[in-house]
A and B are shown apart, each in its own frame.
Chain A
Amino acid sequence: MTASIAGALLLIGRKLLTAFIQLLVIATLIFSVMYIMPGDPVLLLLGADSNPSAEAVASMRTQLGLDQPVISQYFIWLWKALHLDFGVSLVNGYPISRYVLANLPRTLELAFAAIIIATLIGVPLGIAAALKRGSLRDTALTSIATVGISVPVYILGTLLVLLFSLKLGWLPASGYTDISRNVAEHFRKLALPAFALGFGLAASIARMTRSSMLEILGRDFVRTLRAKGMSERRIIWQHVLRNAAIPIVTIIGLQLGNLMGGTVLVEAMFNWPGLSTLLVGAVSARNYPLVQGSMLAIAALFILINLVVELLYSLLDPRIRRKRA
């Protein structure tokens, strides 16, 4: 008993250490990429049309700490980042942490809403297809799922806006309303981006559900249950689905991290003020600290989600825990 708790702790500790090293590597990459990119934040900041004098440029550079050697800028930045101080925006002196904290929950909300939509669509479709394997319904559903996986999110998003906003006028084309101001409007504006983001995932979940269900349906115990005279409905819901659930849950968990990538396009397309919107705007303005801060937040979130999913997975399935420990 104690041995297995120690094993679990050791596993968690190792995973945390790996996550930390991953973050450090990513942080270094983020920092270097910004310096390799052409473009000068000082000139953008001073107003490119103001023909800033050489002294004004030099004084701004000093003020921002950009006149120091890149290496020392790197260590200063890393040291501060370790203390969760990401500095202030080059453009307006606004603290990066406030930007990130305001936008992070919106990205998470979008991703979770997409997951929920994807699950609600994907699982029933997958079950429906599995139960009538080889039928017309199965072929149709499988084809739709294949299309769903292949359609790029920006095409789907455009089609959704065209249909639901411009033609039918049911939902707003874009934007964000804070939930504290108007709950209904908040969800109306969440609907299209969440659906656009979740659709591809719904398709993968449907396929995973189908194949996983089929695998379980072919097992001996299902035949035994049928021979025992148990109702088909009870077999499916109580026994098959429960056994098929583990790979489905895993897929959903792992996809949450990948969805973060999809938010880059979806947020831009629907003007959803999340982390990706923040990041894209910051890159255009060469707002180094804001780029670094928001990329680090996205990376940390990705690593954290995968870490939690993996830990949960190994806790759920003792075989994995034992093997790795």
Chain B
Amino acid sequence: METTNRQAETRKGNSMKRTVLGLIFALASSGTANHSYAADGGTLYFGLSGEPSTLDSTINAGTPARTIRLAIHRGLVNYGPDGKLSQELAQSYDVSPDALTYTFKLRDAKFHDGSPVTAQDVKASIERITAADSKATYRNELGVIKSIETPDAKTVKVTLSKPFVPLIHYLALPESAIVPAAWIKDHGKDPNATPIGAGPFKFSAWERGRELTVEKFDGYYKKGKPHLEDVHYVFYADENTRVNALKSSDVDIIDYVPWKDASSIEADSNLKLASTSGPFMMLQFNTKFEPFSKPEVRQAVSYAIDRAAVINTAFNGRGAPLFGVAIPEGYMGYSKEKADFFKHDVSKAKELLAKAGYPNGFEARLLSTAQYGFHNNTAVAVQAELAKIGIKVKLDLPDWSGRIAKNNAGDYDFLVAGTAGDIADPDWLSNFFYGGQQLVRLNNSAYFNDQIINDLLDKGRVTLDAAEREKIYGQFVDRALEQSPFVYLMWRDQSFGLNKKVKGFTNIPGFLTFQSGFTVENVEVE
């Protein structure tokens, strides 16, 4: 359901588990939740919104896959529960003054096969991503790495071909996990190989179409973690089934709570809702389609849409209007006054439209998908709002797969997108705004290529000084608002539903909500 983070988005038979199962059986039968578990041990049933297509650690195959991989793998760094970078397999790192060399000191950690995590493993893992034939999602970003040296078993020296300030953020992504060099050699090309990582849980079993199980890794480098004996990730593609599974205690936690069900989960005394705002909805334009080639027209669209209509129609009121560029508060580039650059103003919208030469409006095709209610309903709300300024919108609602294909082919006048940035560094904007060689991509407004924006984004990537960077992204936001290649609609609430007996799970705030699977290492069930 996410175009960025969520593309296209077994029980073991030992006696311990039978006991747990028995407890759950009893729990389901009695309908009460009066059971207490020891602080450590226990099983977590995690209902996921889909089955991963692959567990290949270098490919972003959507949130369910990430959630599972964040139990199995760790990187040099990761995003922690507070959304800040957390040093994981790297005990520390230094950046040279010219920002061209990163030196990582590794901590004493072990992979699930018992072998130590060495500099060789780090080198092999990163080179697997940057290899010429690699299909890694972040190959382009990490392609800036020129060479990797391993002076000793615990030191890794990474040299870049040019300064690239956001590097450490890209290394914190789940797709930059460190896996054993020997595993890569033997299984690197096998999509069905049993994964081995250095994370808190080791892969146990995958029953296709049903569930994937991981079990506690006793050799995890964080003392006393994880607390759970095992985690069952159960796949529930249907959102109503997923919610019912939580309500009837079939599972303890679910991802992607549908907005319509949020209030009933809040009202349930056994359940709680963990929400954050971070993902956003926006309109993306084909800038070759004539009216949308003009910035005034795109601005007019922004003024014309009552954000409350979208929030209420598609999200049951669970979201916040967005009248600027979607930069979360606290992220670089955010400023309070520019956050509300636009407002809902129909006469201003008409005025801009007339100025651009369309006093009577025009017709346009809006691409969305019928497969997901919130995408569909956002499109319906936008259609109704734009009718008020004379833009007659024809909806194009194929299934998700068809929508992705049209998006990638540039086959749209404008489209509804729901997404978030990948990283907490402002370079996340490049993926959306940069023009460059490939002008039709999933996440950019087709054919949009603004030299000023490209230059600012290039400069932001190589500037080390934080204050200087802040200024660059300030200028970027000004230009982005003026050009408005995207019209941002709203921040939407993104929620997990939890049984109250689950402790320690965090919905990581901001864009990083889709990486919350990391915090399963802290989870305990009472």
Contact = CB atoms under 8 A, between A and B. Distances in A.
Contacts of B191: 91-94
B250 interface: yes
B28 interface: yes
A47 B245 contact: no
Given A50-B60, A94-B192, A173-B247, A99 B209 contact: yes
Contacts of B404: 39-40, 43-44, 48
Given A49-B442, A50-B60, A161-B244, A182 B18 contact: yes
Interface in A168-188: 168-178, 180-182, 184-185, 188
Interface in A255-270: 268-270
B313 interface: no
Interface string B246-279: 0110100000000000000000000000000000
A49 B1 CA distance: 12
Contacts of B201: none
A286 interface: yes
Q: Which of A60, A98, A269 has the most CB of B within 10 A?
A: A269
Contacts of A165: 244, 247-248
Chain B interface SS verdict (over half): loop
Q: Which of B21, B137, B244, B402 has the most CB of A within 10 A?
A: B244
A295 to B, nearest CB: 16
A284 B399 contact: yes
A169 B31 contact: yes
A178 B12 CA distance: 11
A278 interface: yes
Nearest to B398: A38
Interface in B396-416: 398-402, 404-408
Contacts of B54: 91-92
Interface string A127-164: 00000000000000000000000000000001001000
Given A43-B404, A181-B13, A281-B209, A49 B29 contact: no
A46 interface: yes
Contact of B209 (A40, A44, A169, A273): A273
A50 B29 contact: no
Interface in A191-213: none
A161 B407 CA distance: 38
Nearest to A54: B438
A38 B406 contact: yes
Interface in A23-50: 37-40, 43-50
B135 A46 contact: yes
Interface in B187-215: 190-192, 207-210
A285 interface: yes
Nearest to B21: A182
B429 to A, nearest CB: 15
A166 interface: yes
B153 interface: no
A112 B519 CA distance: 43
A2 interface: no
A271 interface: yes
A172 B250 contact: yes
Given A172-B250, A174-B241, A269-B238, A49 B4 contact: yes
Interface residues on A, range: 35 or more
Given A37-B402, A281-B237, A173 B250 contact: yes
Interface string B22-55: 0001001111000000000000000000010110
A102 interface: yes
B77 interface: no
B8 A271 contact: no
A132 B456 CA distance: 86
B438 A44 contact: no
A246 to B, nearest CB: 39
Contacts of B399: 39, 284
B307 to A, nearest CB: 25
Nearest to B235: A271
A51 interface: yes
Given A284-B400, A284-B401, A173 B244 contact: yes
A47 B60 contact: yes
B241 A277 contact: no
Contact of B401 (A47, A180, A286): A286
A103 interface: yes
Interface in B46-93: 51, 53-54, 59-61
A240 to B, nearest CB: 42
B4 to A, nearest CB: 5
A270 B140 CA distance: 42
Contacts of B235: 271
Nearest to B50: A281
A161 B238 CA distance: 14
B3 interface: yes
Interface string B418-452: 00000000000001000000100111000000000
Contacts of B11: 177-178, 181-182
Contacts of A312: none
Given A50-B59, A285-B53, A40 B405 contact: yes
B382 to A, nearest CB: 22
Contacts of A6: none
Contact of A44 (B135, B247, B401): B401
Interface in B124-182: 133, 135-140
A184 B28 CA distance: 13
B312 interface: no
Nearest to A167: B31
Given A51-B442, A94-B192, A169 B30 contact: yes
B293 interface: no
B236 interface: yes
Contacts of B400: 284
Given A93-B192, A173-B244, A51 B51 contact: no
Nearest to B444: A51
A47 B25 contact: no
Interface in A268-300: 268-271, 273, 277-278, 280-281, 284-286
A181 B18 CA distance: 8
Given A93-B190, A165-B248, 7 more contacts: A44-B401, A48-B7, A48-B408, A51-B140, A171-B28, A172-B248, A185-B21
Shortest Cβ-Cβ A-B pairs, 7 listed:
A169-B31, A39-B401, A173-B244, A173-B248, A50-B137, A48-B7, A165-B248
25 contacts: A39-B398, A39-B399, A43-B404, A43-B408, A45-B53, A47-B7, A47-B137, A49-B443, A50-B59, A51-B442, A51-B443, A60-B135, A91-B191, A94-B208, A165-B247, A172-B250, A173-B245, A173-B247, A173-B250, A174-B245, A177-B11, A184-B25, A268-B241, A285-B53, A286-B401
Interface of A: 37-40, 43-53, 56, 59-60, 91-94, 98-99, 102-103, 158, 161, 165-166, 168-178, 180-182, 184-185, 188, 268-271, 273, 277-278, 280-281, 284-286
